[in-house]
Structures are given as C-alpha cells and as structure tokens.
Amino acid sequence: MAAITTTLTPLAARSEHDRQLRNRALVRGWLYVVLLALFTLVLVGGATRLTDSGLSITEWKPVHGVVPPLSDSDWQEEFAKYRQIPEYEQINKGMTLSEFKRIFWWEWAHRFLARGVGFVFALPLVFFWATGRLEPGLAPKLAGLLLLGGLQGAVGWWMVASGLVERVDVSQYRLALHLTLACLIFAATMIVARGLAPHSLPMASPPTRRFAGFLVLAVLVQITLGAFVAGLDAGLSYNDWPLMDGAVIPEDLMVMEAAWRNFFENPKMVQFMHRLVAYLLLAAALWHMIDTRRREAGTTHARRALVLFHLILGQAAIGVATLAMNVQPHLALLHQAMALGVLGFAAAHWRGARGPYPLQTDIAIRT
C-alpha cells in the first residue's frame, strides 16, 4: 500500500482518501446498528431474568429453536419438558399452560434476538470483507468480536443448564459471566465504531487516557457485581439507604467459611460490595472530570468527562431508587439500561481520548 500510494498523483491520493472515509462511514453506521441490537438484547435478557423466565426452554436448539411452538401439541410438549425441572416442582407447581406461555415467550424472544444479532453482525461483515471495504487492521478486530458472540451463545446455554437439574435458578457465577461477556462485546464494538469516527482534536494527555481506560474497567467491574446481586436476589433485602441493615458497615459480612465465598455467595456481602464500588466509581468519575477539565480545558475530552460524571451520578440515583423500592421491574430494567449506557459512553470517551484509527493512505504517505 505504501509503495502504491506514494506514486499516486495528488488528485488520485485524495480520491483514495475519500474512498476510505466513505468505507469507514458505512462500517461505522453498521456497527451502530449492531450496538442498538446488542442494547436491546441485553435489556430483554434483563426482563427475562426479572420475570423468572430463563428456564422455560429446557433445550438448546440453535437452528430448530428459532421456530416457536405452532400447535397445541407443540405447546403441551414444551410444557411437559418444563414440568420435569426443579423450578416447576418447587416454585411453579400447578402453573397453567397460559402462565407457562408468558414466561416461554420472554426466553424465546431473548434467544431469537441473540440469533438475530449474530446475523446482523455476520452477514454485513462478510460483505464488507469480500468487497474490500475493511482496512487491514480492522478485519481481525471484527472477526474477534464475531467469535466472542459465538462464545456468548454457548455461555448462555451453559448458564441455563445450571438451573435445570438441582437448582431452581441459574448459577450466579454463570449469570455474571454471561452478562460480563455481553458487556465486553458491547464495549469493544463501541470502541471500534468510535475509532472509525472523525476526531476534531488530537489525543488527550497520557494521564487522561489512562484514567479514562481505568473508568471503563471500573464500570465493567460494577456491572459484574450487579450481576451477582441479581443472581442472588440480593437487592430484595437490606433496602435501607444510606445505611445498610441499620449500619454504615453491616454485620455478618463474613459468615461463610472459605472467606472468598462471601464475596460471591453471601447476599449481604455482595450487595455491600456493589454499594461500595458504586461510591468509589462515582468519586473516581468526579476526580476524572475535575482533572480532565484542568488538563484539557475547553476541549471535547473535558466535555465528555463532564457528561460521563453526570451519567454515573444519574445511574447511582437510579440504583438507590431501585433498592429503596424493592427492585420494581421497571426501575431494575432502567438501572440495567443505564449501566449499559454508562459503559458505552465510557468506552467511547476512552477511544476518543486516544484519537482515531489512522487511515491507510496517511500511513502510506508518511512511510
């Protein structure tokens, strides 16, 4: 590419430059559609969890499962399979077929959307790749995201399988992995898309870039803790705030033997950790906003840091409301949606602070 580009006339070089920009715009637009689909998928997954619908489909049928039951006999067959698992025997015994259909449709919709996201990602990727619209360094990144999506499907079934034999719900460990992997895919997609966007400013200073990256990781950790809260139904107890169980640091945080288990299996400790990291994350975002406005005064970097702080502040307020109102479904879903929004903005902020991916024509001309 370098040898060819350096022999182009200025007009031809400009034409090639414009072609690459157009290709970037097309790929970026497609990735934003993917982000919207991923956002919807995660929200439907949250609704599936809140309605206790995740175990209503007891088999993994990646191809055949796209077709829902179409006849009464089909519905009776699905219902019979559900009646064989512990959740039905211990929690939903006596459920009617009509009640089963309500939880079935949530899980089916979640799986259908997951398949749909796969097609929305894979088919355009093949087209862009085959028609030469992907820059050399971009193709491996997108292929890696596709592989992560396939892994996510397998992890989703592995999660569901944990609740089909001995448990009446899924393992909180597998739930946390499933949600964390989904968020990783979402954040990585945002980073790639933002790297393809035009940047009006040079990259931010190294301290700003580093702390912006730290905030992305911190938000991801907080979402993972939130998954453990959801997996243990820890938000349904200790609903006072700002105290917890009447104290700043509640008792009985370390009641399990093998101390590490308390951080993942003790609902009280898990909720306390989720609160504590929320406070630390808010403080970190405040410091980052102040520091960035000092280092990068008057720039887009500083404005993004300001917006990010207010997004995290708003998310904290929604979290408190969700807790105080005993995890009402609409607030819990809003809390999850806002968490994903904060993660996406934090990822875009970090990528924006680093500047865009260099165009191949620019690299070639410099070399």
This prediction has a pTM of 0.92
The distance in angstroms from the start CA to the end CA of the chain is 10
Show the tokens assigned to 271: 């909720």
Percent of the chain with pLDDT over 90: 84
Q: Give CA angle at 324 (343, 346), nearest 5°.
A: 10
Confidence band of 7 (pLDDT split at 50, 70, 90): low
**Whether residue 318 has pLDDT greater than 80:** yes
Is the pLDDT assigned to residue 2 strictly greater than 50? no
**CA 71, 117, 350: angle at the middle one, nearest 5?**
150
- Render pLDDT for 59-115 as a digit per residue (tens, 0 to 9): 988 877 889 999 999 999 999 999 999 999 999 999 999 999 999 999 999 999 999
Q: Is the pLDDT of residue 199 over 80?
A: no
Q: State how far the Cα of 285 lies from the Cα of 312, in Å rounded to an integer.
A: 7
Please report which confidence band the pLDDT of residue 360 belongs to, taking 50, 70 and 90 as the band edges: low
Give the span between the Cα atoms of 248 and 323, in whole angstroms.
16
Length of the chain: 367
Contacts of residue 61, Cβ cutoff 8 Å, sequence gap at least 6: none
- DSSP label at residue 59: S
pLDDT for res 364: 46
Q: What number is the average pLDDT over the span 229-237? A: 93
29 to 127, 157, 192, 197, 350: CA distances (angstroms): 14, 30, 12, 10, 20
| pLDDT tens digits, one per residue of 111-167 | 999 999 999 999 999 999 999 999 888 999 999 999 999 999 999 999 999 999 989
Q: What is the pLDDT of residues 259-278, one digit of tens each?
A: 999 999 999 999 999 999 99
Q: What is the pLDDT of residue 319?
A: 96
Angle at 174 between CA 90 and CA 277, to 5 degrees: 110
Residue 214 has pLDDT above 60, yes or no: yes
Query: How would residue 5 be classed by pLDDT, with cut points 50, 70 and 90?
Result: very low
Res 9: pLDDT: 67
pLDDT of amino acid 356: 79
Q: What is the Rg, in whole angstroms, of the alpha carbon atoms belonging to the chain?
A: 24
